[in-house]
Structure 1
């Protein structure tokens, strides 16, 4: 259902056959490639059990055994006892392989195009009108790897951008629509146009949002994305 780029990334440290079948149960997996700010990660794929990825130096501190199966209360207890916190889970969305085929055949919607540094003035005006909290959360920037926008009467009213995520060919995306122009399907059109171009360039579109961000969940669904998993990481020392 999902591209091998997605599954190879998330299950690089474990065989798929070792992922527990029971929802709510996670397999403890040691991953020496984890960075400091992701030295503990929890992945819960849709419809099956999950995995807890742990850096080697954190394994003993958490009291885990390699290959053990643990449930949510046991994980929460171990994390608390180790004086750690989890950041708070995000939904992970990707386009299914079937939807990717559809994306590749779509043309650009009227009023949607790729943005460049030549659009700096238009983008600055867009940023000045966007809610400040959403600018921080969505992380849409003109200098990102790939940027698309939707226009109404030559005014930029929706923007979406992507950047390669964690040194992979996954491309993390964010999108913002100015409040007066919401409900018109502009975000959906922009996300799909942006994603089609990313696929053309050999990258896999990735959409993340917090579990309680119902507007973002609705956008993911309308854009044709499919929920792959929830994902959580250890909170950084600065959080």
Structure 2
């Protein structure tokens, strides 16, 4: 369903260290190379698999090696008891493997790639957006790639991508100005910038919080499919 590069990326992320527990639906692994900011991560994939990776130090502190019958719900209870708080989960979307037909050339209206020469146009776009929308979308003109949709020479929707470290994956942010929502601009921009990513040898990735129904709807309308739910430790975690 998904490209091999995607499944291999997540396998490397979660299973490149020692495995403490593995069965048909739940895997716990340790990885000494995890940063403190990512000292525990959880992926609940749509295929029913839940994978956990954490630092050896945290695994020792939670005494996981002495819990052979550990389950996913029990693991979350152990985290709670140890005051280890996970950040709110993100949905992670990708295009299916048969992406070439989904992202074929199609009419996109007044849409193009943006460059540094579009600084004034992009600044006007930012001025018309709320601070909360700008923070949530994380669309920046100096990102790896930026595309925008226009209405009478006015930028009304923009998407940008930035690559992940040590992976051929690019994250996507998109923002449409409120008066221009519901007109298909975001779908067209997401598909156009995703085509560009594939042409450059990258896998487009789309993430959003579970309660962001508008973003979930956009992902589906753009042809993306849900891969799973991903969580990392909260920066406010007590431990």
**Structure 1 length as normaliser, TM-score?**
0.91
Partner Cα distance (2:179, 2:23) in 1: 46
Q: CA offsets, 1:5-60, max 9 Å, x none? A: 21111111439xx86444xxx31111233222111000010031211111112111
Aligned to 1:9: 9
Which stretch shows the higher mean deviation, 30-39 or 223-232?
Answer: 30-39
Give the match for residue 130 of structure 1: 129
In the alignment, what sits opposite 2:139? 140
Q: 1:55 to 1:41 in 2, by over 3 A?
A: same
What is the aligned length?
A: 233
C-alpha distance 155-67 of structure 1, shift in aligned 2 (>3 A): farther
Measure the CA separation in 1 of the matches of 2:162 and 2:137: 12
Aligned residue in 2 for 1:188? 187
Identify the range of structure 1 (6-15 vs 68-77) with the bigger mean alpha-carbon deviation: 68-77
Q: 1 CA distance for matches of 2:112 and 2:86?
A: 38
C-alpha distance in structure 2 between counterparts of 1:113 and 1:238, whole Å: 42
Q: CA deviation at 1:69?
A: 5.8
Task: Tell me, yes or no, if the aligned pair for 2:90 and 2:229 is still in contact at 8 Å.
Answer: yes
Give secondary structure in 2 for the equivalent of 1:41. Answer: strand
> Superposition pairs for residues 92-107 of structure 1, below 5 Å?
92-98=92-98, 100-107=99-106
Q: 1:66 to 1:150 in 2, by over 3 A?
A: farther
Which structure 2 residue ranges, 5 or more long, are not aligned? none
1:49: which partner in 2?
49
Match of 1:201 in 2: 200
Name the CA distance, whole Å, in 2 between partners of 1:201 and 1:69: 45
Q: Is the 8 A contact 1:28 1:66 kept in 2?
A: no
Unaligned runs of 5+ in 1: none
Equivalent position of 1:217 in the other structure: 216
Give the aligned partner of residue 27 of structure 1: 27
Hey, which bits of structure 1, 4+ residues long, moved more than 4 A? 66-69
